[in-house]
Amino acid sequence: MDVIAPSTPIARNKENRVLSRHFFIGLVRVAAIGLATLGATGCSVAQQDSFTLITELPPGFKFKGEASYVPRTGESCTVPIREGRNYPGKKFFIQELSNEAQTAHFEVPLTSNEGGCPLVLDNFGYQVDAKYGAARLDLGRAYTGVSFRDGSAEAQSPPPVLVLQKQCEWLFRTAGPDRYIVKILKCKSVATPDQTSNSVVTGPMQRAQFAGKTIKVVFSIAKEETPYMGDTWVKFREGWKRCMGKSLEDPYAFCRGNTTVFKPFKMPDGRDCTVYPHCTEQGK
């Protein structure tokens, strides 16, 4: 399994490192949106068959990327089957969890030659995990990615540095008989009006245009959290209160117009609370 380290880590957490491990299969193919010009970068001979990926993560985030390759158009060969931890036709990129904001650089090949079969990059999918509590499972996960297609390098060319803005937010809910707070991570692409009209970024990227270029993915996290499901919490000046529903044991507990009776819940650290996120109405 090819696990590629950040070529130039700029993380505030200097212990950022690459670990080889098996992880997600099946990536989301989405069109790349939210691109903007930042400036020019130089193109060396070594970069002509790859692009530079830059990832910027907020505190408490980690990143796992998977580049998937398919036989070049016109080739009759096939990608060799997986053998143990060897994944022909796939390359992995990992940026480990940090409690501080971090940035890393990776070089992503546009072509490969596994088992003698000429391959080209088909898609690059990535998974982001974010921690919201101390327990191992107190994390949220979101998937996204970009897809590629054949094309001419002479077609409308993207700028030397393309930026994908990803806005993430926490959605909270209660779970289990003790009504513990759990959170779901949701990330979406953010594009400015001038970017959405650019034909370069409205569909799969033309592979030939990205030799020596840079794709920068910037993740941010919204300050305000919202309920995962509607009509289950009521917002007051001091915070959100959990609707009672039919009883304390009602796992769904829809408000259904009852905005005066609420039930307690537990924070991920075990505290008994009545208001989210401050726990108590006094904000303690």
DSSP per-residue codes, the chain: -EEE--SS---SSTT----------S----------B-------GGGTTEEEEEEEE-TTEEEEEEEEEEEPTT----PPPPBTTB-TTEEEEEE---SS-EEEEEEEESEEEETTEEEEEEEEEEEEEEE-SSSTT-EEEEEEEEEEE---TTSSPPPSEEEEEEEEEEEEEEETTTTEEEEEEEEEE---HHHHT-GGGSSSEEGGGGTT-EEEEEEEE-SS-EESSTTSEEEETTEEEEB-TTSTT-SS---TT--S-B--EE-TTS-EESBBTTBSTT--
pLDDT in tens, 93-102: 999 999 999 9
Task: Provide the pLDDT for residue 11.
Answer: 40
Lowest mean pLDDT among 50-59, 141-150, 161-170, 246-255: 141-150
pTM of the model: 0.75
Task: Provide the pLDDT for residue 23.
Answer: 31
pLDDT in tens, 208-251: 888 888 999 999 999 999 999 999 999 999 999 999 999 999 99
